[in-house]
Amino acid sequence: MIEEEVAKLLKLKAQLGPDENKQKFVLKTPKGTRDYSPQQMAVREKVFDVIIRCFKRHGAEVIDTPVFELKETLTGKYGEDSKLIYDLKDQGGELLSLRYDLTVPFARYLAMNKLTNIKRYHIAKVYRRDNPAMTRGRYREFYQCDFDIAGQFDPMIPDAECLKIMCEILSSLQIGNFLVKVNDRRILDGMFAVCGVPDSKFRTICSSVDKLDKVSWEEVKNEMVGEKGLAPEVADRIGDYVQQHGGVSLVEQLLQDPKLSQNKQALEGLGDLKLLFEYLALFGIDDKISFDLSLARGLDYYTGVIYEAVLLQTPAQAGEEPLGVGSVAAGGRYDGLVGMFDPKGRKVPCVGLSIGVERIFSIVEQRLEALEEKVRTTETQVLVASAQKKLLEERLKLVSELWDAGIKAELLYKKNPKLLNQLQYCEEAGIPLVAIIGEQELKDGVIKLRSVATREEVDVRREDLVEEIKRRTNQPLCIC
Amino acid sequence: MIEEEVAKLLKLKAQLGPDENKQKFVLKTPKGTRDYSPQQMAVREKVFDVIIRCFKRHGAEVIDTPVFELKETLTGKYGEDSKLIYDLKDQGGELLSLRYDLTVPFARYLAMNKLTNIKRYHIAKVYRRDNPAMTRGRYREFYQCDFDIAGQFDPMIPDAECLKIMCEILSSLQIGNFLVKVNDRRILDGMFAVCGVPDSKFRTICSSVDKLDKVSWEEVKNEMVGEKGLAPEVADRIGDYVQQHGGVSLVEQLLQDPKLSQNKQALEGLGDLKLLFEYLALFGIDDKISFDLSLARGLDYYTGVIYEAVLLQTPAQAGEEPLGVGSVAAGGRYDGLVGMFDPKGRKVPCVGLSIGVERIFSIVEQRLEALEEKVRTTETQVLVASAQKKLLEERLKLVSELWDAGIKAELLYKKNPKLLNQLQYCEEAGIPLVAIIGEQELKDGVIKLRSVATREEVDVRREDLVEEIKRRTNQPLCIC
């Protein structure tokens, strides 16, 4: 008996033999990346649709740039984060890197085409060799949805529109309450100056301040003093400022601040913020905005107002696990970046925003899962089916007529499918109608049109079929 | 005088000094790539819209995969073309390559998710380190639009649908007359066998045959005999076959061919083609299809029917230069590719097609240029303008109301723009309506609504403005 089993197993092993070679191969996507299934694509398209409609509502054009840039185009734009850039292998020819964001390619595009004036959006994937945290929507390949206004304009009008766009999108997406923190690089720099931070330490102290949304002031202070060598009393002075946040009244209070008001940069920043708040009130969104002195933003290229939207909580749904609350949109003013590319150093002031869609995808997906909502992944209106055998030719003829008339139609790829299987396919795929061909119907010049939901069947004259299908499915198809 | 000039120039040079450093930097996109301007994006979106609508009409789901794959995923799939793959630099971690097409990632996706059955489309950029010919629409970064049907089905039904889709798309795009060449890898292999080509030379002789659409039979024969060492009489036998093309009657003729009909593979291929032509007739597209024994297709992974659509001519438009006529869509059956990824070697038969959109973009762009057609790049319905100074606040309030009501609206980012400048902006951007705020209108509770085309102005009560704008612009916006 045992010998028999061994023989069987050996035979099995021999059969598997050639396949084991294949097993060495790892079947996966690269670290930090993922495929999008049809269900995930349905969510993605729904989110993109909200965002694109908003960008178009604000009169934006759209551009696209290559996924890689000359390496030198990206050099010196991202500070410490440059180490996260993906380089391409030198295979002869130019040295290339994958884009790290859409802002630097946009600035390169403006300088290259000598544009001084554009309002554009750009939705595309960007690449960062970061430590992925995929359950929280942090990937190495991820989408950015950017809207930017380039051009020399009167102060704070485009800046206010960027904040308005951010609020419109986050409201439309219905992902919960949010708050937009606002600050200004000039206020930060002015504050560091009046507190006594040496010029050379502005950037590094700035990145310590940026951590205040995750850790306590005590820890940040320890970093400033312990690691970065700041005098404790200087750190305390910073602490007094950065722990403040509020509305326009805080702006006005700081405009009276005996030290800050002596600093030209801070004064300019505060003056602009005051104007910004006026415009935000006219846009009806001032209640969503918080002037927050601890907001610093990592990237080097910002020169003026900066902002970041955070979710206050995810909507509490039955069975839903709490998601890490964090930044879902951000942006700011960068007036110097285009000049870095222009051969004559001509500046083009820019302000823009970026929507963190990956985190938003995660939130929407989780909500749909919690609700056990089934997302339709096709838009098929009708399945062409047959009640008897030997009707493949008739099915092919009918489905072709429907396609040519613009109807979304399918048929099973079998010569003689069972009617039950055809009906089951409709149930699974959410197809609302079945056009059933039978021998009697062919003689009578009709098609049996069946509603999958109600199981009602009516005979429709073949020449009226297209109109009848259109009539029954004319409500705009919703993928959610 | 001269000294003065020299001094001036030296001063100028000193001023330019720091900028010259910047000049070392080359302001360009990588070789073989391009940016898409708003005008080009408008064309691109129009073409994609036609393609996506067709894919959805045929019941396809949509997926997406990362732009790079593990290097080993792509290894051994593309034959000679593998040298054109872009590798990423080894920065520690996995070895990665940019995707070369969408077919291999699709097969990897099926095997990884153990799917045996899907009809999906995928539109994304792919990367090939080829010699670019950008004026003819050949780039190193370019879009592919793929539709594939995976699953075990009755013969030739999905294959026929792929050809139907290709014809629907090429007809809808109105880029001129086209013809779809069809052949079968099994017929090619059978033909080589009966002509006396050694097994080891099948692939290389196949790639010689593939050149027949560009060069004469004499040249191809010379390559086969001179470079590839084929006996001249063997080459002549091949020549007798591959110079034939026709419809279903040629299929029937070859089924009676004394040599070919003795070859099992060729017989299978011819039998399937006969069935295919039956289905194509039912789909009403048999007149677009030509059985062409010289069609070979480069890629290794095809196993059955193969096809390629060529434009017969570009539409002759005034002032238009003739474009190189070439392949605009192609595809075929690949029943072995998924099995290369599956740990147990399980096969999933697949058939699909790919639309060559870059060439199509070029053709459509060239046609628009020749017609001097202006493409609108925004969808803005109304500009919010003011007739007098000091009305910025009122403009901001009104534009915000319109955005909140879903109206696509803009305003100039100036405190006190001139009315003339605001009207000119509308002319340039193709904005059809202007909502003009004036002091008198504010008092009367009305807005002056002006049609840019007719210059007609009417006073509209503020509470009716949204409805009136919607009424006047409710025709579906067309970007072409």
CATH code, B418: 3.40.50.800
pLDDT at position A314 over 60 = no
Domain endpoint, select from B319, B352, B371: B371
Q: Sorting pLDDT into bands at 50, 70 and 90, what band is A367?
A: confident
B213 is in an annotated binding site: no
Parallel/antiparallel/unpaired status of strands A141-150 and A245-246: unpaired
Task: Tell me: do A367 and A402 sit in the same domain.
Answer: no
Mean pLDDT of B376-385: 96
Domain endpoint, select from B371, B390, B424: B371
Q: Sorting pLDDT into bands at 50, 70 and 90, what band is B19?
A: very low
Task: Tell me: do B367 and B387 sit in the same domain.
Answer: no
List chain B residues with CB under 8 Å of A45: 62
Across the interface, whether the CB atoms of A56 and B379 are under 8 A apart is answered: yes
* pLDDT greater at residue B66 or residue A138: B66
Cβ-Cβ contacts under 8 Å between A and B: the total is: 257
pLDDT at position B342 over 80 = yes
| Domain presence at residue B19 | no
Across the interface, whether the CB atoms of B279 and A396 are under 8 A apart is answered: yes
B377 is in an annotated binding site: no
- pLDDT tens readout for residues A152-183: 999 999 999 999 999 999 999 999 999 999 99
**What is the model's pLDDT at position B195?**
96
Q: What's the structural domain count of chain B?
A: 2
Close Cβ partners of A414 (under 8 Å, ≥ 6 residues apart): B153, B154, B157
Q: How many residues does this entry show for chain A?
A: 480
Across the interface, whether the CB atoms of A63 and B38 are under 8 A apart is answered: yes
Domain endpoint, select from A341, A371, A401: A371
Report the percent of chain A where pLDDT is more than 90. Answer: 79
Q: Which residue of A has its CA nearest to B17?
A: A344
User: Whole-angstrom Cα distance, residue A41 to residue B45?
Assistant: 18
List chain A residues with CB under 8 Å of B379: 56
| Domain presence at residue A469 | yes
Mean pLDDT of chain A: 91
**What is the model's pLDDT at position B77?**
86
Question: Which is nearest to A72 in space by CA: A279, A296, A341, A372?
Answer: A341
Answer yes or no: are the C-beta atoms of B195 and B170 closer than 8 Å. no
Task: Tell me: do A423 and A274 sit in the same domain.
Answer: no
Task: Tell me: do A386 and A365 sit in the same domain.
Answer: no
Across the interface, whether the CB atoms of A58 and B141 are under 8 A apart is answered: no
Mean pLDDT of chain B: 91
Across the interface, whether the CB atoms of B141 and A66 are under 8 A apart is answered: yes
Q: Sorting pLDDT into bands at 50, 70 and 90, what band is B124?
A: very high
Close Cβ partners of A235 (under 8 Å, ≥ 6 residues apart): A221, A224, A225
**What is the model's pLDDT at position B325?**
58
| Domain presence at residue B22 | no
Task: Tell me: do B387 and B360 sit in the same domain.
Answer: no
Mean pLDDT of A61-81: 92
**What is the model's pLDDT at position B23?**
47
| Domain presence at residue B25 | no
Q: Which two tokens stand for residue B450?
A: 């002006």
| Domain presence at residue A1 | no
Task: Tell me: do A179 and A297 sit in the same domain.
Answer: yes
Predicted structure pTM score: 0.89
B478, exposed or middle or buried, with CB in 10 Å at 0-12, 13-18, 19+? exposed
Q: Sorting pLDDT into bands at 50, 70 and 90, what band is A375?
A: confident
Q: How near does any CA of chain A get to the CA of B393, in Å?
A: 7
pLDDT at position A226 over 90 = yes
List chain A residues with CB under 8 Å of B108: 27
Task: Tell me: do B329 and B425 sit in the same domain.
Answer: no
Task: Tell me: do A142 and A262 sit in the same domain.
Answer: yes
Task: Tell me: do B334 and B390 sit in the same domain.
Answer: no
- pLDDT tens readout for residues B42-81: 999 999 999 999 999 999 999 999 999 999 999 888 877 8
Residue ranges of the alpha helices (H) in B262-335?
A: 264-282
pLDDT at position A18 over 80 = no
Answer yes or no: are the C-beta atoms of A181 and A307 closer than 8 Å. yes
User: Whole-angstrom Cα distance, residue A288 to residue B349?
Assistant: 54
User: Whole-angstrom Cα distance, residue B353 to residue B351?
Assistant: 7
List chain A residues with CB under 8 Å of B377: 61-62
**What is the model's pLDDT at position A2?**
59
A334 is in an annotated binding site: no
Task: Tell me: do A109 and A145 sit in the same domain.
Answer: yes
Mean pLDDT of B386-398: 96
**What is the model's pLDDT at position B101?**
95
CA atoms B4, B9, B12, B17: torsion sign = negative
Question: Which is nearest to B409 in space by CA: B377, B375, B378?
Answer: B378
Task: Tell me: do B156 and B256 sit in the same domain.
Answer: yes
**What is the model's pLDDT at position B22?**
45
Task: Tell me: do B224 and B313 sit in the same domain.
Answer: yes
- pLDDT tens readout for residues B166-176: 999 999 999 99
Q: Which residue of A has its CA nearest to B377?
A: A61
Across the interface, whether the CB atoms of B27 and A111 are under 8 A apart is answered: yes
| Domain presence at residue B31 | no
pLDDT at position A475 over 90 = no
**What is the model's pLDDT at position A74?**
94
Q: Residue B461 sits in which domain range? A: 382-474
Mean pLDDT of A405-434: 97
* pLDDT greater at residue B38 or residue A20: B38
**What is the model's pLDDT at position B24?**
64
pLDDT at position B322 over 60 = no
* pLDDT greater at residue B468 or residue B344: B468
> 3-state DSSP call for residue B329?
strand
**What is the model's pLDDT at position B185?**
95
B144 is in an annotated binding site: yes
C-alpha distance from residue B293 to each of B157, B173, B181, B247, B266 (Å): 22, 28, 9, 11, 12
| Domain presence at residue A207 | yes
pLDDT at position A77 over 80 = yes
**What is the model's pLDDT at position A5?**
63
| Domain presence at residue A91 | yes
CATH code, A169: 3.30.930.10
